[in-house]
Structure 1
Amino acid sequence: MKSLILYSSLTGNTKKIAYSIYDAIQGEKDIKNISELVDESINYENYDIVFLGYWVDKGICDKNSKQVLENIHNKKIALFGTMGASTKGSYGASIIEKVESIVSKDNENLGSFICQGKIAKELKVKYEELLKLHPENEHISEQLNNHEESQSHPDEQEISEAIIFAKDVMSKVNTIM
């Protein structure tokens, strides 16, 4: 069995989870940063499973991850992502649902994992400016309040959960094959 871990990472959060997954799974495996794939095409036929990691941008996966995800066909896929906001509540679930909707129907989605990541400092400035324009916007207020709390994420608990997720996915694949 051969696994491919693809990831896109803006602040290092998704990269951290990707390498945790890479280290946790057994068998032949490769890990690649999506942003470094510009001149490299991937032959997905060489892999039994593809883990794809994304960072959340405007309520869905980043554009590079979306583009790669749209081009994967007839594979077993597992998705993982990081977002600046808390994943508790309906917002995290809605992100997973949106990203899963991008997966081509000819793929077998083996599951999704999402966790909080640290919010980029530049984004805090952007949210402060947006809040001046839209002081009633709850999401913007929550993001600002969450900025300090987010700086410790992904934490050890979330990394542990990502590892459990990856091992569960791999056990599904081994059962299927």
Structure 2
Amino acid sequence: MKSLILYSSSTGNTKKIAHSIYDAIQGGKEIKNISELIDNNVDYENYDIIFLGYWVDKGICDKNSKLVFENIHNKKLALFGTMGASTKGNYGINIMDKVKDVFSKDNEIVGSFICQGKIAEGLKVKYEEMLKLHPENEHICEQLNNHEESQSHPDEQEISEAVRFAKDIIAKASNM
């Protein structure tokens, strides 16, 4: 079985998860940063399964990931992402559902994983400015409260969960 791990990373969170997945899976495999692919085509037919990593931007995958994701067809896909907010509760689930909708329906999404990542310092400043304009916005308040907590993510537990996710996906794909 040959696997491709594609990822987009702004602050290094998704890259960390992507490389953990790469290191965990056996067999033929390649890893590529999506930013290197925007002008280069990939022959997805060479892969049995594609792990696709994104970072969350405004409640959905980042724009570079979206551009690549929209052009994948007839493949088995395993999605993984990182976001600054806590992934507990409905917010993380809603994001994964939105990302799944980016793909053509001719693909088979065999699993999804999302975990918290560090919030960039520049984003904290942006949220502080936004809060001045919208003090009632729960998401902005949550992001600011979450900033300090986020600095330790993705943590060892989340990396272990990503590794387990990847191994489960490979096992499942091998049996299909």
Alignment of 1:80-91 (within 5 A): 80-91=80-91
Structure 2 runs not aligned, ≥5 long = none
Structure 1 residue 103: Cα displacement: 1.8
Task: Name 2:56's counterpart in structure 1.
Answer: 56
Task: Name 2:156's counterpart in structure 1.
Answer: 156
Structure 1 residue 94: Cα displacement: 0.2
Structure 1 residue 124: Cα displacement: 0.3
Pair 15,145 (structure 1): closer, same or farther in 2 beyond 3 Å: same
Is the contact between residue 14 and residue 82 of structure 2 (CA under 8 Å) also seen in structure 1? yes
Task: Name 2:145's counterpart in structure 1.
Answer: 145
Task: Output the CA distance in 2 between the equivalents of 1:39 and 1:86.
Answer: 33
* 1:77 lines up with 2:114 in the alignment: no
Task: Name 1:106's counterpart in structure 2.
Answer: 106
Task: Name 2:169's counterpart in structure 1.
Answer: 169
Task: Name 1:37's counterpart in structure 2.
Answer: 37
Structure 1 residue 39: Cα displacement: 3.4
Any idea what SS the aligned residue of 2:175 has? helix
Q: How many matched pairs?
A: 176
Task: Output the CA distance in 2 between the equivalents of 1:38 and 1:64.
Answer: 7
Structure 1 residue 40: Cα displacement: 2.1
Structure 1 residue 170: Cα displacement: 0.3
Instruction: Give me the TM-score of the superposition, normalised by structure 2.
Output: 0.99
Any idea what SS the aligned residue of 1:115 has? strand
Structure 1 runs not aligned, ≥5 long = none
Is the contact between residue 82 and residue 117 of structure 2 (CA under 8 Å) also seen in structure 1? yes
* 1:10 lines up with 2:13 in the alignment: no
Task: Name 2:95's counterpart in structure 1.
Answer: 95
Q: Aligned letter for 1:65?
A: S
Any idea what SS the aligned residue of 2:32 has? strand
Task: Output the CA distance in 2 between the equivalents of 1:173 and 1:130.
Answer: 44
Task: Output the CA distance in 2 between the equivalents of 1:103 and 1:71.
Answer: 8
The CA deviation string for residues 83-116 of structure 1, in whole angstroms up to 9 with x for no partner, is 0000000000000010011121111110100000
**Where in structure 1 do 4 or more consecutive aligned residues deviate above 6 Å?**
none
The CA deviation string for residues 117-146 of structure 1, in whole angstroms up to 9 with x for no partner, is 000000000000000111111110100000
Structure 1 residue 68: Cα displacement: 0.8
Any idea what SS the aligned residue of 1:80 has? strand
Q: Aligned letter for 1:43?
A: D
* 1:116 lines up with 2:116 in the alignment: yes
* TM-align CA RMSD: 0.6
Any idea what SS the aligned residue of 2:106 has? coil
